[in-house]
Amino acid sequence: MNLPQRFPHSGLPSSVTVYEVGARDGLQNEKTTVPTEVKAEFIERLADAGATRIEATSFVHPKWVPQLADAEVLYRLLEARPGVHYPVLVPNPRGLDRALACGVREIAVFASATETFAQRNLNTTVAGALADIAAVVRAAVEQGLWVRGYVSMCFGDPWEGPVAPDAVADVVQQLAAFGCDQISLGDTIGTGTPGHVRTLLDVLAARGIGPERLAVHFHDTYGQALANIHACLEMGVAVVDSSTSGLGGCPYAKGATGNVATEDVLFMLTGMGIATGVDMDKLLAAGSFISGVLNRRPESKLGRIPEGSRRAP
C-alpha cells in the first residue's frame, strides 16, 4: 500500500469530489494528438479508479484545438456508469449543439477575470465573453443540463500582473446569475497563495456566493497548489479540480505549467481522513498508463516514487 496514516482534522469537509480534468485540460495541451481509443481507455481507467466527474473533452472547433477534434467519436465510446459523470467543455452555441447531439448532460463554459487573457484566449473582452456565455448557459439550462463555469486568471495574469479579488468576484457573480450550478476558480499561472485564496473566498462570501457553489483549480507552477487547496478546504470548499499525472497547463498563458496532480491531492486528502472514493493504486496505474503513452515519466510526486518503494507507514 502507498497510503498515508490518517489523522482527521476538525472543520474540514468529510468528503471531497475530485473533479478530474486530465482527459480534457491535460491532453489538449499535448503537441501530438493522442488516439481516440487511448483517450477512452484513460477515461475508463479513471472511472475504474473511482473518479465520479471526469471532464472528457471539449466541443471546440478543431482549428483551435486539433488535439480534441475527435470529441463526438470519443464521447460516444464512453461507457455509461451509475454515478459517473462525463462533463464536456463547450465554447459557444455551436459547441453546445454538437454536445447535445451526442447526448451530453453536463457542460462547462469558460470565462476570464482579465481583459488581456480574454482577448488572447477568447478573442473578445470580458464583457463580450460573458454575453456569449449567458446565451450558452441559458440554452443549456432550458435543456435541463448541469452547468459549470470556469474563471481563469483568478490569482494573477502574466500580462496584467495582480488581479483584484473584486474583479474576479464580478465575473463569478455574473456566472452565478446566469445559472451556473458550480463555478471553478482557476489559478492559471500558479501564483496564488493561501492568504490570497482566503481573501477571494471571503469576498465571494460577502457577495452571497458560498463554498457550496465553488470548486478550485490550481496549477502548481510555484509549488503552492496543495497549500492553497488546504486553505480552501478550511473555508468549506469540497470540489477540487486536478489532473492525473499532472497533465496540462495553459497554451495561451506564458509560464503556466501543469495542473496539480490528482495522485498528490488524493494523498493529502487521505491523510486528513477525507473521503474521495478514489482508489490510489488504480489511479497511479492510470497515470502510469497515460504517461507511458506520452513517452514521459509521471509528473505527480507519487508517480515518480519507484513502485517497490511505496510502503505503508
The string of pLDDT tens digits covering residues 90-107 is 999 999 999 999 999 999
- For residue 6, with 0-12 CB atoms within 10 Å meaning exposed, 13-18 middle and 19 or more buried, which class applies? exposed
User: What share of the chain has pLDDT > 90, as a percent?
Assistant: 85
Instruction: Report if residue 4 sits inside a domain.
Output: no
Q: Does the residue 234 lie in any domain?
A: yes
Above 70 in pLDDT, residue 187?
A: yes
pLDDT band at 116; cut points 50, 70, 90: very high
| 53-66 confidence digits (pLDDT tens) | 999 999 999 988 99
pLDDT in tens, 216-269: 999 999 999 999 999 999 999 999 999 999 997 554 445 445 899 999 999 999
Is it the case that residue 42 has pLDDT exceeding 80?
Answer: yes
List, in sequence order, every beta strand (DSSP E) within the chain. 17-20, 53-54, 57-58, 88-89, 106-112, 146-152, 182-187, 214-218, 239-242
Nearest to 286 by CA among 245, 249, 246: 245
What's the number of domains the chain is made of?
1
Q: What is the pLDDT of residues 166-183, one digit of tens each?
A: 999 999 999 999 999 999
Examine residue 12 and state whether it is found in any structural domain, yes or no: no
pLDDT at residue 1 in the model? 45
Would you place residue 313 in the very low, low, confident or very high pLDDT band (cuts 50, 70, 90)?
Answer: very low
CB 20 within 8 A of CB 278: no
Q: Do the domain assignments include residue 86? A: yes
228 φ, ψ (degrees, to nearest 5): -65, -40
Confidence of residue 309 (pLDDT cuts 50, 70, 90): low
DSSP, res 25: I
Q: Given CA atoms 27, 28, 29, 35 in this order, what sign does their dihedral have?
A: positive
Asked if the structure places residue 89 within a domain, the reply is: yes
User: Which of the two residues, 33 and 56, has the higher pLDDT score?
Assistant: 56
pTM comes to 0.94
> Are residues 173 and 209 in contact, defined by beta-carbon separation less than 8 angstroms?
yes
Angle between helices 262-271 and 280-293 (to 10 degrees): 170
The answer as to whether 312 is a domain residue is: no
CA 59 – CA 295 distance, rounded (Å): 26
How far is residue 262's CA from residue 260's CA, in Å, rounded to a whole number? 7
**b/e sequence 270-303, b meaning 16+ C-beta within 10 Å:** bbbebebebebebbbebbbbbbebbeeebbbebb
Q: What is the CATH number of the domain that holds 84?
A: 3.20.20.70
What's the pLDDT band for 136 if we cut at 50, 70, 90? very high
pLDDT in tens, 78-94: 999 999 999 999 999 99
- In a domain? residue 209: yes
**What residues make up the domain containing 136?**
17-307
Residues taking part in catalysis: 250
* Burial annotation 233-269 (CB, 10 A radius, 16+ → b, else e): bbbebbbbbbbbbbbbbbeebeebebbbbbbbbbbbb
Domain annotation covers residue 189: yes
